[in-house]
Amino acid sequence: MTLLENHPLIDLNTFGIAARARYFLEVSSPEQLRTFLKHSPPQPVLVLGGGSNILFTGNFPGTILQNSIKGKTIHWQDEESAIIAVGGGENWHEFVVWCIDHDLGGVENLSLIPGRVGAAPIQNIGAYGVELKDVFHQLEAIELKTGQLHTFNRTDCQFDYRNSIFKQSLKGLYCITKVYLRLTKTRHLLHISYGAIRDVLANAKIFTPTIRDISNAVIRIRTQKLPDPKKIGNAGSFFKNPIIENSFFETLVRKFPKLPHFPADANHKKIPAGWLIEACGWKGKQFANVGVYEHQALVLVNFGKGTGEEIWALAQKIRNSVEEQFGIRLEPEVNIVG
C-alpha cells in the first residue's frame, strides 16, 4: 500500500483528462482502507472507481482513493433466487457477464455500463427499462471520517432516477466496499419492452430470448450508439433525462408536437435529453479539442487534448441553449470535480 504524490489521472478517467492528484492510493481491501484512514489522510478525500462518470476540471488538491476491493460470493440462496455479495472494486460489466455465465438474472439490461460496482448504487445506474434499485438488497460502506463500517438497505439509500443519498446528503462521505444484489435463478423476469431491444431480437429471429440474448442485444445497441472511451474520451451520457410535470409537458408539446416523452409517474413525463440537445443543433459539433458525439447528442467527447474546463464550458453552453429554447434546465449526470 503506497501513497503516491502528484499522480497523473489521465489513464484513470474515461474522458482522458490530464489532471493530477496531490496524493493517490489504491486500496484492495477494507482493512487497507481503515488502516489508511487512521493516519489522517491529506484532505479532501475522493473515492474513485473506474473513472467513467467523472470530469476533472483541474488538479485534485487532496487524496484520491481508488476502490479496487474485489470478490464475488453467494451470500444466500434458495431454489428461485440468490443474493450475491460483490466487492465495490469489481468491474461492473465483468460482474454482469459472470452473472449471465451462472444463469443469474436481473442485471442483463445493464450490460456494458462502464465503471465499478461500488459506483452503481451511488448513481442508481439504469438502462433499457432496468435500474440498480430493482435488484438491490443492501450495501456495506466505510465512513471516511471515522473508518467505521455501516450497512445501508434499500430504504436507507433513498434511490431515485440516477440518484441516491450518496449523491445528496452523504456525498463524498463513504467508500462502498460491498454490494448485495438479489438475482433470479429460475423464471427470469425479462425486460424487452424497450423498442431497440425488441428490434434487435426480432432481426436476429430470437422470439424466446434468454438473459444472454438480452445482454448481447444491449451490448450491440450500446456499441453502435456510444463511442469507445479507449478511442474517444467520454463519460457516456453527460446529462440526465429531465423529468417535468404533466402540465408543463402539455404546454411544450403544443409548441413542439414531435417532442418524445415517457411516463415517469402519474404526474410527470421523462424527456430524452439527447433529443433536446440535438434539436438545438449541437449534435456532431466540434470545438477545437472537444465536441458533441456525432451519433449521440447526449455524449460529450474529448478528441485527445481537451481539458476539463473546455468540456464543462461546452456543457454549460448546451444547457443554456436547451433552457432558452425549451425552458428545461438539464442536470449533469457526470460528477464535476475541480
27, 68 in Cβ contact below 8 A?
A: yes
Residue in 140, 237, 310, 319 annotated catalytic: 237
- Strand-strand pairing, 262-265 and 268-270: antiparallel
Question: At 217, which amino acid appears?
Answer: A
What is the radius of gyration, based on Cα positions, of the chain? 20
* Closest C-alpha among 8, 59, 181 to residue 108: 181
Q: Is 108 a catalytic residue?
A: no
294, 262 in Cβ contact below 8 A?
A: no
* Closest C-alpha among 133, 180, 130 to residue 158: 133
Residue in 116, 162, 182, 222 annotated catalytic: 162
CB half-sphere exposure, 152, CA atoms < 13 A: 27
Question: At 169, which amino acid appears?
Answer: S
119, 164 in Cβ contact below 8 A?
A: no
- Strand-strand pairing, 54-56 and 20-27: unpaired
Question: Which residues are registered as beta bridge partners of 84?
Answer: 74, 181
- Strand-strand pairing, 335-337 and 54-56: parallel
How far apart are the C-alpha atoms of 229 and 212, rounded to whole Å? 24
How far apart are the C-alpha atoms of 53 and 57, rounded to whole Å? 13
Q: Which three cell numbers stand for residue 186?
A: 429460475
Q: Is 81 a catalytic residue?
A: no
Query: What is the dihedral sign for C-alpha 32, 167, 145, 6?
Result: positive
Q: Which position has the grid cell 414531435?
A: 258
DSSP 3-state of 268: strand
Q: Is 162 a catalytic residue?
A: yes
**Residues recognised as catalytic:** 162, 237, 333
